[in-house]
Amino acid sequence: MGRLSVDLCGVTLDNPILTASGTFGYGYEFADIYDINVLGSLAFKTTTRDPRFGNPTPRIAETASGMLNAIGLQNPGVDKVIAEELPKLRKVFHKPIMANVSGFSIEEYVEVCKKLDKEEQIGWFEVNISCPNVKGGGMHFGNDPELAELVTREIKKVTTKPVIIKLSPNVTDITAIAKAVERGGADGISLINTLVGMRIDIKKRQPILKNKTGGLSGPAIFPVAVRMVYQVYEAVSIPIIGLGGVSSASDVVEMMLAGASAVEIGAANFADPYVCKNIIEELPKLLDQLGVNNIKEIIGGAH
């Protein structure tokens, strides 16, 4: 157990750094760049029951301090992920991985989780009830405490792995949703997903994204993410994964001080594919500067 190791829902990570779903493909795509086994773990692309082409283009727009995306959960469907994507990842990554799943009904969530639960390499589920750019799915559950509790409860009935619910920041009271999924049996909480945003082309006088709105990620949302992690830490007693605009070792420490047991890196992977590796290498030096012997000591330290 090294000074960077943390516990996430009963599973030990070598360090608290994970990649956020949708920003690291299925993992093996980065294996030619560096040894991805330096990561604590990774969350692969959101998986749904059926294949999804995603939203029409254009579905990416830049912002001053981040980006908007309206990808729309593009993925080949759970059966193909199990048959093709996971075996490729298994060859290059030898730690438990996080399965990010979504659906358009409780039955779909349950079916996808039940199938993936049989896969040995999966260590946790990250259940996405917070996607802001898919009509009729995801965020519908994440905005309603009763539905959030219900989908959590039903997934827990068919899974043997820890279930971490990914929450939407696009709500009035994040703690109400957090408490609801804890009541439903969630083993952990992941937050935040993207904020709803829009850009308009001033020459065409119309939204840049075909979907009109998209999810804002990147450094612009980091202070919002820290605030929500801080609030949820005080509202629940289950572990938290913090994410949203994290792009440096100091961001990781700040997120953990707010209450996160682990931290996901998302949009920063697009700007610098080595960002996770660099952060992991920088963390011990930063801990030395802060006089911290073990990174677990700082979890919730700002409270």
Report whether the peptide linkage leading into residue 192 is cis, meaning its omega lies within 30 degrees of zero: yes
- Tell me how far CA of residue 284 lies from CA of 61, 161, 249, 265, in angstroms: 35, 30, 9, 18
Burial 98-114, CB ≥16 within 10 A → b, else e: bbbbbbbebebbbbbbe
Hey, is 100 helix, strand or coil?
strand
Exposure on the CB side of residue 5, measured as CA atoms within 13 A: 8
Would you call 113 a catalytic residue per the annotation?
no
Catalytic residue among 9, 113, 131, 276: 131
Please, which residues have CB within 8 angstroms of residue 87's CB and are 6 or more apart in sequence?
Answer: none
Exposure on the CB side of residue 245, measured as CA atoms within 13 A: 26
Number of neighbours of residue 64 by Cβ within 10 angstroms: 7
DSSP 29-68: GGTTTS-GGGSSEEBPPPB-SS-B--SPSP-EEEETTEEE
CA pair distance 278, 274, nearest whole angstrom = 6
CA pair distance 236, 191, nearest whole angstrom = 13
Answer whether 73's CB lies under 8 Å from 52's CB: yes
Strands 122-128 and 163-166: parallel
> Hey, which residues are catalytic here?
131
